[in-house]
Structure formats: C-alpha cells, structure tokens
C-alpha cells in the first residue's frame, strides 16, 4: 500500500516537473527521497532516482549551494553503484560542476570536468571532448 502511494507521488512529481512546476516537484521529490531512504536504504534505485530528480529541480531553481551538497553525495553513491563513465554518473557530474561554477568553485568544477572526461574517454570520446572544452572555457575565466 505504501509502495503504491509512493509510486503515485512520484508520478505526480514527474508531471509537475514536466509542467515546469519545479518548486512543487522538488518538494515532492524531496519527500520521496526521505521516505525511500528510510524504507529502502540509501543505495536503492528508487532512492537514487529521487535524489537525481531533486538535483534536476534544484538546477532549474538555481539552488546552487543545495545542489552542490546533494550532487556531492549522489555522485559518490553513483560511483559505487553505477561506476565511472555511466550515464547517470556523468549527468550528475555535469549538474555538480554547473553548481560549483555558480558558487565560485571554478577550480573544483574544472577538475570534475576533466576527471569525468577521463572516465568517458574510452566509451564516448565526443562527450569527453565536450567536457574538456567546458573545462578549458572555464579555465580562461579564472
């Protein structure tokens, strides 16, 4: 019963996200994150998905400091569960770097771009090159 309610809440949150209602979606994804962490554990697929959805909402809402903290945690968990160079790991690394750029952590963002590009080099060279380009562009700003 609770699982069904959580799935319905997730569908509602996704609909709000798709409608551009990021503040409401973030609130619901945050509830999902907390409940799923307690019920399923901090490495469950649904918990990690809720975290990732929170990060996406935070980017739209320009909540850079909050996004930085959540991305740090999520990236670490993805490295353990998904591995380096995997789609979700790379996506959260991009969100994290973007947040760091907005809180004036340019050197850390550039380092993350380079490390992620290295992780991608063997599997998606074009994506790795784009990340290296982003790193180079932000080095010029520093």
Closest alpha carbon to 53 in 85, 97, 109, 15: 15
Each residue of 54-82: pLDDT tens digit?
999 999 999 999 999 999 999 999 999 99
d(Cα 133, Cα 33) in Å, to the nearest integer? 34
Mean pLDDT over each residue of the chain, to the nearest integer = 94
The pLDDT of residue 41 is above 80: yes
Percent of the chain past pLDDT 90, that is, above it, reads 92
Which residue matches tokens 């993805």? 78
Is 141's pLDDT higher than 70? no
Task: Indicate whether 42 pLDDT > 60.
Answer: yes
pLDDT given at position 140: 65
The backbone torsions φ and ψ at residue 29, rounded to the nearest 5 degrees and listed phi first, read -65, -35
Give the pTM. Answer: 0.91
């Amino acid at each position: 019963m609770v699982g069904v309610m959580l799935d319905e809440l997730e569908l509602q949150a996704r609909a709000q996200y798709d409608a551009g209602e990021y503040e409401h979606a973030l609130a619901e994804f945050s509830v999902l994150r907390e409940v799923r962490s307690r019920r399923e554990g901090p490495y469950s697929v649904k918990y990690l998905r809720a975290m990732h959805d929170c990060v996406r909402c935070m980017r739209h809402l320009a909540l850079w400091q909050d996004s930085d903290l959540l991305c740090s945690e999520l990236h670490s968990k993805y490295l353990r569960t998904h591995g380096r160079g995997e789609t979700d790991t790379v996506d959260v690394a991009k969100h994290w770097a973007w947040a760091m750029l907005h809180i004036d952590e340019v050197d850390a963002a550039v380092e993350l771009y380079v490390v992620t590009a290295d992780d991608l080099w063997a599997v998606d060279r074009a994506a790795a090159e784009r990340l290296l380009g982003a790193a180079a562009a932000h080095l010029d700003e520093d």
